[in-house]
Amino acid sequence: MNFKGDRILIFLSLALLGSGLLVLTSASVVQGTADFDQPFYYISRQMILGLPLGLLLGFVASRIKEGLWRALAFPLMVLTILLLVLVFIPDVGYGAGGAHRWISFGPLGFQPAEIAKFTFILYLAAWLSKHKDELGSFEEGLLPFLAISGTVGIFLILQPDISTLGVLSFTALAMLFVAGAKMKHIFGTLGLGALVLILLIMVAPYRLNRLTAFINPGSDPLGHGYQISQATLAIGSGGLTGRGFGFSRQKFLYLPEPVGDSIFAVMGEEIGLVGSATFIVMFVLLAWRGFRIALRASSEFLQLFAFGLTSWIVIQALLNMAGNLSLTPLVGITLPFVSYGSSSLAITLISIGVIFGISRINEEA
């Protein structure tokens, strides 16, 4: 049987997936017991819901040709906007901790923002490739780009889900740059983004706490600096080789969100610098393969699609890990392949399926 496609991409993805499931198993035992009196609650849901759905849809996505993706771009974007609206509809959408980010179907729920990561990149790739000749124009290039990005951004702000907004904003800007936009438009968009961030901080000053905690976590170690203090304590105590798999102390309800945005800290404590560095290297290699596939794609659309999908996975991973290492402010975002979240895992695997499918098209061309 002739296996076509990037084998290294598949190997890296499976390695990250397998490692992620193992880390989640260990990190979630205490939280699952505390929340549901079921130590394997989180990992079982991840493997029953997110994993099979992601693998199935990822396989299907890898077989879809360019023409169908182009045709699906606009309908899927419209559907995503409708889903982002539904999170605010009573008895359909639901929230927690002051945020409205989920849609429920009986006992099951999902986050439309996760779907938006995929469909937004798909639509933007289709739009940028179609309007490549107009990207140098402010009226016909930059303004429509800002309108497309702003439409999704408004709904994310209302939820609020500023971390997803940040990831998609960086990804969109990278795609705009690769598509050939003028540098003055790139820097102008960066300035506009900074202004929006300042306004968001003014509207909800608690967001400033994350920046304060990053600059000086010791200023309020039991308040807004608590999470980063516990995360760095966990990673530091892991030393070179870690305490051993399953032997994290911080996951015993000392570290907030051990199954979510703090899971890298649990990883660092248990497998140490060597294991964590290996994990980071796998993401770097994944970026290399993804960008290599994008560079070799046969059309502008496929290049942008592969580049955008690779970018969001890598950007989100780097922001999560850098935040736990206190290299950047904590942004409250999950670690792809690792953190709990069936929607997140499924969309990640679908994205990998698309990138692999583009590598197959490259070999067949």
How far CA 298 is from CA of 66, 74, 290, 301, in Å, comes to 10, 22, 14, 9
Q: Is the pLDDT assigned to residue 330 strictly greater than 70? A: yes
Q: Does the pLDDT of residue 62 top 80, yes or no?
A: yes
Q: Which residues contact 233 (CB under 8 A, 6 or more apart)?
A: 250
* Domain housing 42: 7-364
Tell me if 257 is assigned to some domain.
yes
Tell me what the mean pLDDT of segment 195-224 comes to.
76
Pairing mode of beta strands 99-105, 93-96: antiparallel
| Structure confidence at residue 1 as a pLDDT band (50, 70, 90) | very low
pLDDT-based confidence at residue 215 (cuts at 50, 70, 90): confident
Question: Which range (112-121, 204-213, 223-232, 268-277) has the least confidence?
Answer: 204-213
- pLDDT computed for residue 107 by the predictor: 66
- pLDDT value at position 219? 67
Reply yes or no on whether the pLDDT at 212 is more than 60: yes
pLDDT band for position 25 (cuts 50, 70, 90): very high
Q: Which of 252, 250, 259 is nearest to 228 (CA)?
A: 250
Q: How much is the pLDDT for 343?
A: 93
- Which range of 98-102, 196-200, 233-237, 289-293 scores highest in mean pLDDT? It is 289-293
**What local confidence, expressed as pLDDT, does residue 281 receive?**
96
Across 3-17, 98-112, 205-219, 245-259, least confident range: 205-219
Q: Of 192-201, 333-342, 344-353, which range is least confident?
A: 192-201
pLDDT value for 13: 97
The dihedral sign for the CA sequence 209, 215, 216, 219:
negative
Residue-level pLDDT at 97 = 64
Task: Return the higher-pLDDT residue of 358 and 97.
Answer: 358
Q: Of the segments 39-53, 151-165, 201-215, which one has the largest average pLDDT value? A: 39-53
Q: Which band of pLDDT confidence, cut at 50, 70 and 90, is reported for residue 365?
A: low
The two structure tokens encoding residue 338 = 């690792």
Name the pTM for this structure. 0.95
- Kindly state whether residue 221 falls inside one of the protein's structural domains: yes
Separation CA 234–CA 77 (nearest Å): 40
Domain tally for the chain? Answer: 1
- Residue 80 placed within a domain: yes
Whether the pLDDT of residue 171 is over 90: the answer is yes
- Number of other residues whose CB lies within 10 A of the CB of residue 244: 13
Nearest-angstrom CA–CA distance, 4 and 204: 50
Residue 1 lies in a domain: no
User: How much is the average pLDDT of 174-186?
Assistant: 94
Residue 145 lies in a domain: yes
Q: Given pLDDT bands bounded at 50, 70 and 90, which one contains residue 91?
A: confident
The phi and psi torsions of 263 (rounded to 5 degrees) equal -65, -25
Q: Quick check: 71 pLDDT over 90?
A: yes
Confidence of residue 282 (pLDDT cuts 50, 70, 90): very high
- Let me know if residue 2 belongs to a domain: no
User: Comparing 6-15, 44-53, 103-112, 191-200, which segment has the lowest mean pLDDT?
Assistant: 103-112
List the strands of the sheet with 93-96, edge to edge. Answer: 93-96, 99-105, 108-110
Considering the domain boundaries, does residue 256 fall inside one?
yes
Reply yes or no: is the peptide bond before residue 160 cis, omega within 30 of 0: yes
pLDDT at residue 227 tops 70: yes
Confidence category of residue 98, pLDDT binned at 50, 70, 90: low
Q: Tell me, letter by letter, the H, E, C secondary structure of the chain.
A: CCCCCCHHHHHHHHHHHHHHHHHHHHHHHHHHHHHHCCCCHHHHHHHHHHHHHHHHHHHHHHHCCHHHHHHHHHHHHHHHHHHHHHCCCCCCEEEECCEEEEEEECCEEECHHHHHHHHHHHHHHHHHHHCHHHCCCHHHHHHHHHHHHHHHHHHHHHCCCHHHHHHHHHHHHHHHHHHCCCHHHHHHHHHHHHHHHHHHHHHCCHHHHHHHHHHCHHHCCCCCCHHHHHHHHHHHHHCCCCCCCCCCCCCCCCCCCCCCCCHHHHHHHHHHHHHHHHHHHHHHHHHHHHHHHHHHCCCHHHHHHHHHHHHHHHHHHHHHHHHHCCCCCCCCCCCCCCCCCHHHHHHHHHHHHHHHHHHHHHHHC
Count other C-beta atoms under 10 Å from residue 138's C-beta: 11
Backbone angles phi, psi at 96, to 5 degrees: -155, 140
What are the residues facing 104 on neighbouring strands? 109
